[in-house]
Structures are given as C-alpha cells and as structure tokens.
Amino acid sequence: MRIAEYVSFDAVGLAELVATGETTTAELQSAAREAARAVNPQINAIVETWPTDDEPEPEPGSAPLAGVPFLIKDIGISMAGRRMELGSRLAAGNIAGVDSFLMRRFRRAGLVTFGRTATPELAYGITTESLLHGATRNPWDPGRSAGGSSGGAGAAVAAGVVPIAHATDAAGSLRIPAASNGLFGLKPTRGRVSMGPGADEVFNGLAVHGSVSRTVRDSAALLDLIRGPEPGDPYSARQPSRPYAEEITRPPGSLRIGVLAGATGAWGGRRTTAPVADALARTARLLESLGHRVEEVEVGLGSDREEFILANARLMAANLTASVDELAAAFGRPVDSTTLEPVTLAGYHYGQQVSGAQFVAALANRNHVARSLARYFDAHDMLLTPTLPELPLPLGTHTEGAETLDGLGWIERINDLSPFTMAFNVAGTPAMSVPVTADAGTGLPIGMQFAAAHGHEGLLFRLAAQLEEASPWSGRSPAVWAGDCAGR
C-alpha cells in the first residue's frame, strides 16, 4: 500500500481493509513506518520505533481495529520489554517489565504498536520541548508548538503517520494538542479508563487516558475498546447504555449549549485573541443553524482563580515530588539539574514544601469545583469554550524565562496559556476539542471545546459527529503531510 492511499483511511477504514483481505497488517506496518521516516525528521514526534516481528500478528477481523498501526505516549502506559522514559533524563533507559491494563486492551483491540511519541518531561507542561528528545514541531507550521503534553501523539497523527494515537490528559494534555494540530480529542470521564496496575490514580484523579484522531468514529471505536474498570480501581464511571460507535450514528437532538460569557478568558484567564473569538462566534452560529439553543452563560467554579491555581499547584507538585523520588531511588540518580529541567526541578522543590493539611485543602477545592460545575449541567447539556485562547504559539514561548519561576508560578503560567481546560480535569467531567474551523489568515487550526456532565461522553460523540458532517475537517492537510511524499 502506498502512503498516499494509506493516509486516506482512518483506523476503522484500515481495519475494514484488513478484514476483507484488501490489504494486510504487514502492508499497513510498512506504510506507517515509511510515513514516519518521511515526516518525523521534520516534526520530531516519535522518539523511538521498534520491530514488531516478535509481536503476534492479529488475525484479520479478530478484533475491531485488527492490524491498525498505533503509537503510545512515552508516559502513563507500560509495554513489556519496551522503553518508557517519561521524556526525562531521570528515567532514561527505563524498560517496562509488564503490560499495563491499558496496554493489554490496546493489544486486544488488534492495534499494532510500533513506537512511542514525545512528551515534555514527566508530562509537566503543555508544550512538547524536552531536553531529552528536543522540540516536537507542529505539522501545520514547524516553527510552532504542537502542544502538550501529548504533543508527539498530536503531531504524528496530524502528519499522517498513524490515524489515531494514545494520549493522556491531566490539565488539557490531550485537548491542547488536538486543538493545536487540527484533530479530534475527547477527554473521558474520570474512572472511564483504568490507570492500573502501577497506579490507582494519577494527580489525584486529574489525569485520564484517551486518544487523538483524525475522525470522530475512530475515537469512539477506541474508547469502546478501552473503557471499563479493572479490579482495585478507585473510581469507576457508569457504563454507557450503548456503544459509543453506535452513538455517533444517532442525532444529538436540540441541545441547550452555554457559551462561556464574553470569550475573554476562562475564570480569570488571559483574553482570547481575535481569531479565536471569531471562531467561537462562527461555531455558535453553526450550532444554532443545526437547531441547538445557544446562549451566553456565567459559570462559577466554586473557587476564585487564585485558590484554584494554588490548589492545583499543590496537588500536582506533591504528586510530582513523590514520582521523582521514586524514580531517583529506582535508578540511583541525583535529583538536580543534571537529571531534571528547571521547571520540573522547581515543581519538585515546591512539592517538598506542601504540608499534609495543605494537600487535604487542595482536595477540598477539587470537590468545590466538581460540585459547582455539576450544578451548571443540571440546566444545560453542554458548555462551549475555545480549547485555547490563541493560535499555536512559536516554539520556546511557553518556557521563556521559566527558569525564574517556582512551582506555583509554573502552574499559573500553564493556566494562563490554557485557561479553559484544567477545570474539567479537576471536576472529572468529559470534554472534547473539535477542529470545527481554522484561522483565515494563517490556515492554522482552531479547536473548540465542549464539556458535558459526568458520564455523558455519548452525548459529546453525537454532537461531534454532527459537527464533523456539517463542517468537515478531514479534507484539510498540514504543511508536513505524509500523503505529499513524492513517489509514494
């Protein structure tokens, strides 16, 4: 299969070709690897590929996504015998001993995993520019960030290496790369996908597993295959009444959708720039044309901005400190500037100062936010915001002067750059970034975020499928696109 043909299919389409005998798993692997070789030197999204000769090849049609090439993020998941370095010099050379629960489910889905994607160090940022592996570049404009912390996944999918890839999200880390790279990305409800067995929860429930993809149906199909609790999980989300792959075939009905008032920034964040504000207005008009009731709303978080940021800084830094100490002990390495980047080291030291009482107070803040947002969804089906307040930023912007920040200052910067995403991690509710539109001046994609009540991924998928049909994005391709490789 030539690359130009390979990139014209999504994951569900590729699996159908394998099931009907029109192509083979080996042919898809060859195309994916050729695509990676063609584009990765330009975007630096994939940090390692490995041979799949020692992996059992799935039988055609034996699983819903049998034979589809796949990539996993370099954190949050373990694949037996493969490196997982967390984007950090502190964990360089780390090899996983066993498959995590999620990896087992990816295998059962029939996915053929052949590499890992870049992440910022310990996923502690919203741009993917680690010292260990270098900067991941946005395929739409290689001078700009691909987002983070799932930036490698976003860039690889956007450039056509794979149709869908594993991603995680603790403060927007899935939705931010989706928006930056013109992809669809849905952050599931807390407890929808197991974090085990190595962890019961990550960042006290703020982090979840998911994916970024070029089509809504791919994300729906994969979430069907990985959802559901495992023994010992601290959280579980009520299972849907029907598969998500079926939900996308159903109309969403007339939804009551609130638009966060003013589009001037979420809960005290920075002002939304003109291209994004214009895209938000166009999205609202599109929703109205589809029969939805759209109104501007005020949404309280049950916490002021300073308390919200302080609570999240304490939760994240305390968790970071524990993880760093565990890694340092495991590898016999020091915790200093030779193993950690400045912002990570600052977060580590900040976390050392968090008291038990402060940590419990931060968990109480999480509860206030969850209760407040739940009340909003009593009266509305969804909340609409931009995913990001501005277009993807030039590389280096996120970390400029970061060496002067302490742990609290770094989390404040993250919230300032992405003021719309973190609240839904704190509340544990599902949210998605949809590439409804693009900037007319630059052609860069702009993501719109939709959030729904706890457990209502099905409703989000139905709306996403409707938007995908009304405002298709699959025909757009970035400047760095595997399908453009000459002679392939």
Active site residues per annotation: 73, 149, 173
Of 441, 460, 425, 452, nearest in space to 126 by CA: 425
**Alpha-carbon gap, residue 269 to 211, rounded angstroms:** 26
- Supply 196's token pair: 């085990």
Phi, psi of 40 (to 5 degrees): -65, -35
- Contact between 160 and 9 under an 8 Å Cβ cutoff? The reply is no
Here the contacts of 187-190 (C-beta below 8 Å, separation 24 or greater) are: 187/424, 187/425, 187/430, 187/431, 187/432, 188/223, 188/227, 188/237, 188/430, 188/457, 189/237, 189/428, 189/429, 189/430, 189/454, 189/455, 189/456, 189/457, 190/235, 190/237, 190/428, 190/429, 190/454
Of 227, 245, 185, nearest in space to 101 by CA: 227
**Alpha-carbon gap, residue 192 to 438, rounded angstroms:** 31
Residue 302: left if φ>0, alpha if ψ -120 to 50, beta else—which one? left
Of 286, 252, 251, 283, nearest in space to 385 by CA: 283
CB environment 323-360: b (16+ within 10 A), e (fewer): bbeebbeeeebebeeebbbebbbbbbebbeebeeeebe
Evaluate the CA torsion angle 121, 123, 129, 134 in order and state its sign. positive
- Supply 262's token pair: 């003013």
The type of residue at 112 is V
Could you tell me which residues are beta bridge partners of residue 228? 193
- Supply 256's token pair: 């009551």
